[in-house]
Amino acid sequence: GDILDQLKSLQDQLKNLEKSKKIIEKTKQIELQKIETSIKNTRQSAVWLIKNVLTQIDQLFWITDKYKHKNDAFEMYLSAKNTALKEIIKSKFYKLNSQFSKINSFSDEEFSNYISQIIDLVRNVEDALRNSVAAPRFPQTMIDSLYNQFLSFDNSLVTIKSQLDNLIDSYKAVDKQ
């Protein structure tokens, strides 16, 4: 009966291994779901922030018809020392604003890349504000306030992109296990 006992022991070990494998797989699935939820929440925060950023840029540079005459009082002083920046900002804005409607269909990597482009646009706006000329209708306090607002957008976007990229990396690492 010695061989039969060994066989029975091996069969029990195999059953235990199968159970362990199932537990590990289940744990992995739970971990992936947690990461997916975090990615979804991070993306939602980013969408809200990006929508706000695009609206602020549109209002400041009166790009779309919606805000056409919002800045008539100070338009000539905005980025007066570098007027080419205005055209760069408008061009990037049109592209990114039109892509915004498709944002929820972006893959996580496309979404991260889109955030990078938004950060780039925000930094152009910061440059435009640094290249503005103060005037009675566009006082330095207003320029500084707008600059700080875009600096804050910049920092928030960098943080969100970093969170998203870390979550994407975590997902890939867990998925490979």
What pLDDT, on the 0 to 100 scale, is given for residue 70? 67
Q: Is the pLDDT of residue 16 over 70?
A: yes
- pLDDT score recorded for residue 170: 97
Average pLDDT value over all residues in the chain? 95
State the average pLDDT over residues 133-152.
96
pLDDT tens-digit profile of 163-172? Answer: 999 999 999 9
Residue 82 confidence (pLDDT): 96
Q: Which tens digit of pLDDT belongs to each residue from 111-129?
A: 999 999 999 999 999 999 9
How sure is the predictor about 138, in pLDDT bands with cuts at 50, 70 and 90?
A: very high
Classified as helix, coil or strand, 118 is helix
**pLDDT per residue over 46-101, tens digit each?**
999 999 999 999 999 988 888 776 677 888 999 999 999 999 999 999 999 999 99
- Closest by Cα among 50, 33, 32, 35 to 160: 50
- Coil, strand, or helix at residue 79? coil
Question: Any idea what DSSP says for residue 73?
Answer: T
* CA nearest to 121, candidates 155, 85, 92, 157: 92
Angle subtended at Cα 80 by Cα 75 and Cα 85, rounded to the nearest 5 degrees: 90
| Residue-level pLDDT at 75 | 86
Kindly report, residue by residue over 32-43, the tens digit of the pLDDT: 999 999 999 999
